[in-house]
Chain A
Amino acid sequence: MKRPRVLIVDDSSVMRKIIERSLRQAGLDLGEVVEAGNGIEALSAIRGGVFDLILSDINMPGMDGIEFLRQLVTLEEGKGIPVVMVTTEGSETRVVEALSIGAKGYIRKPFTPDQIKERVSPLLEVMR
């Protein structure tokens, strides 16, 4: 069975590591995990490879998560990749905006591995 290839987008390298560790602690059998520091780097990564899941922060310098999502849905390579927003953003407006563009869900920071699993597992099940 193919193991999912995951893209983690966050301007904090510490948070990217924590998200990856949480995914693995949650018992998810991941393939390669690729990191990007903002939306621009993430779009570049997507043009260069296939991903099964994207976890993205919203508030990032350079290109934020909302703009990244907007551009992602216009890319042929981005079509069908589930995106989950991982954010400190308490604003319903920003989250609703992300969901309306195409995000499949969101996780609020701080989070536990179980909360990540709850959001991500159903999305990875679909690809099996």
Chain B
Amino acid sequence: MNPALDSKTQNSVRPDATWEAMLECAVKEVFQIMLQSELTTITKTAEEVSTGDTTAMVGLAGSLCGVMSIRCSSQTAESVAGRMLGSVGAVNPSEVPDALAEICNMVAGNFKSKITRLADSCMLSVPTVIRGEDYEMVTIADGDQIVVCVDYEHAPIWATLAVHS
């Protein structure tokens, strides 16, 4: 049996009060290292929901089951892709979802590595990207949800970890 899935039955990991700070740190580190971009945290009320027409998602399975997502506007996603690739002019449109998917993948991996109990017992899926004018992200699972909003060049980027109970 897959060691990560095997460990799920033995040692399910639940979020604690430190996870929001860990997620915030994971997001900021990825942008600092890969884009040389310093993000600042935007404080949001509990009622505010993530917005933006581009969302990248990575599934987590094993001792922690859930979905990590990064959501922003298409303009922000294009800017992120451009900075990642060091592009001066316009970015190839096909590379925009790919870039955001990699950001999400790295945030999930970086977050996971910060939580010792998760590192070896939780696996990541291949990323998925959704784009569209009008959609709402709904978590069916009744588990915890950790949401971080950061400012990237005066535009919000939302990082959400939805944990399945």
Contacts and interface: CB of A to CB of B under 8 A. Distances in A.
B155 interface: no
Given A11-B126, A108-B113, A110-B30, A91 B84 contact: no
Given A13-B95, A14-B99, A110-B29, A88 B81 contact: no
Contact of A61 (B120, B124, B126): B126
**Interface core residue of A14, A15, A17, A111 (most chain B CB under 10 Å):** A14
A59 B109 CA distance: 11
B33 interface: yes
B36 to A, nearest CB: 10
A21 interface: yes
Contacts of B34: 18, 110
B4 interface: yes
A32 interface: no
Secondary structure type dominating chain B contacts: helix
Contacts of B112: 90
Nearest to A25: B86
Interface in B95-121: 95, 98-99, 101-102, 105-106, 108-110, 112-113, 118-120
A15 B102 contact: yes
Secondary structure type dominating chain A contacts: loop
B98 A89 contact: no
Interface residues of A, number: 23
A31 B112 CA distance: 36
Interface in A1-32: 11-15, 17-18, 21
B85 interface: yes
Contact of B33 (A60, A88, A90, A111): A111
Contacts of A17: 85
Given A15-B102, A61-B126, A92-B119, 12 more contacts: A11-B126, A14-B99, A14-B102, A88-B109, A90-B119, A90-B120, A91-B122, A93-B3, A108-B109, A109-B109, A110-B33, A110-B110
17 contacts: A14-B102, A15-B102, A17-B85, A59-B124, A60-B126, A88-B108, A88-B109, A89-B109, A89-B124, A90-B109, A90-B113, A91-B4, A91-B122, A92-B120, A110-B34, A110-B110, A111-B33
